[in-house]
Amino acid sequence: MPLLAANWKMYKGLRETGEFCAAFRSPAGVDAVVCPPFVSLSTAVGSGHTVFAQNVHWADEGAFTGEVSAPMLLELGVAGAIVGHSERRRYFGETDDTVRLRVEAALAAGLRVIACVGELEDERERGETEEVLRRQVSVLSRHDALVVAYEPGWAIGTGKTATPEQAREAHAFIKSLLDTPVLYGGSVKPENAEELLAQPGVDGALVGGASLDVESFTAICRAAAANP
């Protein structure tokens, strides 16, 4: 079943999270999850939707100011977490090593994980896409609760989307390294979702901007349901 994850980033406090969750009905045939900011997680969990956090620390507890652990998320009823999003890598010093630590701890604790990989624009221009993906995927191991999200850095929040061929190629390459479902992320919208999700090897989507609106996220979920 295709996985559709709504990555709200630093949008939607309690009120807006409650409004979205009350209005959203997941179409049949898709595994739809919402990923609100930490402060809004409990509201989303209470609504009955499947909820993932946007990050998770590797220790169960400790002196790690500003971090949240897997047991804390599980106690709240959170089912999974995004790890290694490109914004975490770019703005918050996330590295392949910290991604590995977070992913391993989250899986061991019983969370599902969406581990994000993807090249930046200059890396693609220099022909380094496969090298970057190989390095980022090398810290991951196959696990039933793990999916990878391929998110080309140049397509995130830019309105630029990978062409269906670029997505297909990158997904096939990732699957050649690790036998795992691979989501596509980067400016997925109702207008392009059907074509992207129809590509072989595209097992769902990680949606940012277009997931903030109930109707647009629902339309993307429907496009995925049409391409099981």
Nearer to ligand PGA, 72 or 155 (CB): 155
**Smallest separation (angstroms) from ligand PGA to the CB of 24:** 17
CA separation for the pair 19, 4 (Å, rounded)? 19
Nearer to ligand PGA, 93 or 159 (CB): 159
Is 151 among the catalytic positions?
yes
**Smallest separation (angstroms) from ligand PGA to the CB of 176:** 23
Helices (H), the chain: 14-23, 41-46, 70-76, 86-91, 96-109, 121-125, 129-137, 164-177, 190-197, 214-225
**Smallest separation (angstroms) from ligand PGA to the CB of 71:** 25
Closest CB to ligand PGA: residue number: 208
Which member of 57, 85, 87, 119 is catalytic?
Answer: 85
Pairing relationship of beta strands 182-185 and 204-207 according to DSSP bridges: parallel
Q: Please report, as ranges, the residues that interact with ligand PGA according to CB under 6 A.
A: 7, 151, 156-157, 185-188, 206-210
Is 104 among the catalytic positions?
no
Active site residues: 85, 151
